[in-house]
């Protein structure tokens, strides 16, 4: 599924330790602690395949039960009607009343799983949360109980604002000199915005030794 593709893609591109801050469940391979700063030397790890295999071993969640999307047999970007259709089909197939007599128990279990998958994915909010967990590699059977939802929210928020801060820091270091695509309104490119001009003037004064 997509999540797996991305994760292994990550592993191939750069040292996995820089990934650990954001994908909490994946353990660092090389034992190097992540500081969250930019990796100075990007390199391709030799034996990419081996890496993937290791990932599979060390990131146990990925070899566990299938995702809800797998259960319903649809792609991760399936629309709500896809989900509904798949669910209806599978529900009809696995419903205890219509299951073959000798496999009732297995079918019932399947039915319950399918139902849980449908409940989670049909509600856009829970689906969003589930997808996010998927991105982090935590796609064990997700109980739809809204237990401590708020705490999960706060966790997600923290990751998000941490990355926002990092980006802002990067952005703010170069923005007054860069005449790049402007974010937000296309009024003036950053380097010629009023604020940029004033900031440059101030730093020029500093450079000239006036402060």
**Residue 176 to residue 19: CA distance in whole angstroms:** 29
Residue 184 CB, shortest distance to other proteins, in Å, is 4
Query: Which CB sits closer to other proteins, 51 or 196?
Result: 196
Cα maximum dimension of the chain: 90
209: left (phi over 0), alpha (psi -120 to 50) or beta: left
Determine, following the binding rule CB under 8 A, whether residue 114 of this chain makes contact with other proteins.
no
Determine, following the binding rule CB under 8 A, whether residue 2 of this chain makes contact with other proteins.
yes
31: left (phi over 0), alpha (psi -120 to 50) or beta: left
Binders of other proteins among 160-179, rule CB under 8 A? 160-161, 163-165, 167-178
Binders of other proteins among 192-211, rule CB under 8 A? 193-196, 198-199, 201-202, 205
**Residue 67 to residue 57: CA distance in whole angstroms:** 18
| Residue 130 CB contacts under 8 Å (≥ 6 apart), including other chains | 68, 120, 121, 139, 142
Residue 166 CB, shortest distance to other proteins, in Å, is 9
Site of interaction with other proteins (CB under 8 A): 2, 6, 9-10, 13-14, 18, 22, 38-42, 76-77, 125, 128, 131-132, 134-135, 154, 157-158, 160-161, 163-165, 167-178, 180-185, 187-188, 190, 193-196, 198-199, 201-202, 205
């Amino acid at each position: 599924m997509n999540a797996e593709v991305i994760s292994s893609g990550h592993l191939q591109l750069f040292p996995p330790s820089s990934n650990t801050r954001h994908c909490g469940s994946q353990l660092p391979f090389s034992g190097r602690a992540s500081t969250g700063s930019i990796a100075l030397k990007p390199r391709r790890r030799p034996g990419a395949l081996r890496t993937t295999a290791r990932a599979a071993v060390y990131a146990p969640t990925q070899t566990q039960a299938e995702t809800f999307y797998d259960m319903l047999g649809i792609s991760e970007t399936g629309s709500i009607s896809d989900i509904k259709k798949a669910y209806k089909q599978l529900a009809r197939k696995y419903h205890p009343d219509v299951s073959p007599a000798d496999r009732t128990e297995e079918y019932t279990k399947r039915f319950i799983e399918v139902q849980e998958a449908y409940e989670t994915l049909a509600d856009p909010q829970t689906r969003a949360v589930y997808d996010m967990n998927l991105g982090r590699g935590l796609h064990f059977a997700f109980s739809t109980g809204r237990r401590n939802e708020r705490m999960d929210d706060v966790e997600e928020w923290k990751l998000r604002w941490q990355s926002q801060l990092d980006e802002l820091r990067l952005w703010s270091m170069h923005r007054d000199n860069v005449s790049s695509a402007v974010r937000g309104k296309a009024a003036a490119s950053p380097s010629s915005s009023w604020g940029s001009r004033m900031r440059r003037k101030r730093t020029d004064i500093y450079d000239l030794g006036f402060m």
